[in-house]
Amino acid sequence: MAQGMIVKALSGYYYVLPDGRPPGSGELIQCRARGIFKKQKITPLVGDRVEFGLTENGEGTVDAIGERRSELVRPPIANAELAVLVFSVHEPAFNAQLLDKFLVHIEHAGLETVLVLSKTDLSTADAGWRTEIEAYRRMGYEIFLTSSKRQEGVEAVRERLEGSVSVFAGQSGVGKSSLVNALLPGLELLTAEISTRLGRGRHTTRHVELIPLGSGWIADTPGFSQLDFAELEAEQLAEAFRDFRTYASACRFRGCLHHKEPDCAVRAAVDAGELADWRYEHYIQFLTEIKERKRRY
């Protein structure tokens, strides 16, 4: 039984790169999944480590799926290790509330996070975003300043992604595509060819693919397409705010939601200026959203 990794999924086929073959070599085995997976309600995902067997026609069947270290629903990828969040400092302006929303989902999924700030060449004298970014740096998040136009910071990002399976996310218009194209010259041409072969637009396909970047991989997908807290419970929200964790253990009640409970150490830290009040405001907004979702159901 051979082993490998699914690097592309398209129209019910899974394209496996066998172990020992170099990434980007094009030497992929086109496979179907065994019917047993459907009965078990398991869907093979891009990024899965698999065992596969070859059929007489040179194609293959996925016979077993290895244990997943992580699993994302949107985009549907297994074993991603790193989320690259791309936010611009200008046009559109840096949006800390949206960044916090992304971070909640990524922390909950158990991925590491790299924050890439784009369009730094357009940065004005307004230093508001710098103050907020320093708060994230103090929380332990890695931050890279980039300008695709000037090719600044791109090499540092490339080095950080070496050896990891990375997914990209961020609001539209922040230069995410420009950054990916700077990291992967020729990717734009590759995706255009795929779209032409399929006879439809790139973003209308159910096409998820890992593109090799040195010894690592980048997920070529639209990224996190929905941030609706559908998979998150109120009790899990605070765990996704890493700056709350130091204080949460000192709360009077176990499972404290840090809202109206007495003797809440998180609220006390906000009042004392030890936690950023704007981060806490975002937390309450998200908590309210989760509670209202439960009431609707």
Q: How do residues 52-81 score in pLDDT, each as one tens digit?
A: 999 888 899 999 999 999 888 777 899 999
Give me 120's structure tokens: 């730094």
Enumerate the H helices of 122-169 as residue ranges: 128-138, 154-161
Domain boundaries, the chain: 2-66, 77-220, 234-296
Cα 174 to the center of its chain, rounded Å: 16
Low-confidence ranges of the chain (pLDDT < 70): 24-26, 120-127, 148-149, 172, 174-175, 186-206, 220-230, 294-297
pTM listed for this prediction = 0.82
Q: Are 28 and 17 in contact (CB under 8 A)?
A: yes
Say how far apart CA 100 and CA 275 lie, in whole Å. Answer: 14
Say how far apart CA 76 and CA 106 lie, in whole Å. Answer: 14
Give me the CATH topology for the region 234-296.
Ribonucleotide Reductase Protein R1; domain 1 (1.10.40)
| Contact partners, residue 44, CB within 8 Å, separation at least 6 | 6, 9, 14, 33, 37, 50, 62, 65
pLDDT digits (tens, 9 = 90+) for 120-161: 666 554 557 778 888 899 999 999 988 766 778 888 999 999
Write b or e for each residue in 168-198: b if 16 or more Cβ atoms lie within 10 A of its Cβ, otherwise e. Answer: bbbbeebbbbbbbbbbbeebeeebeebbeee
Give me the CATH topology for the region 2-66.
OB fold (Dihydrolipoamide Acetyltransferase, E2P) (2.40.50)
CATH code for the part of the protein at 77-220: 3.40.50.300
Say how far apart CA 211 and CA 65 lie, in whole Å. Answer: 21
Give me 90's structure tokens: 């200008």
Q: What percent of the chain has pLDDT over 70?
A: 81
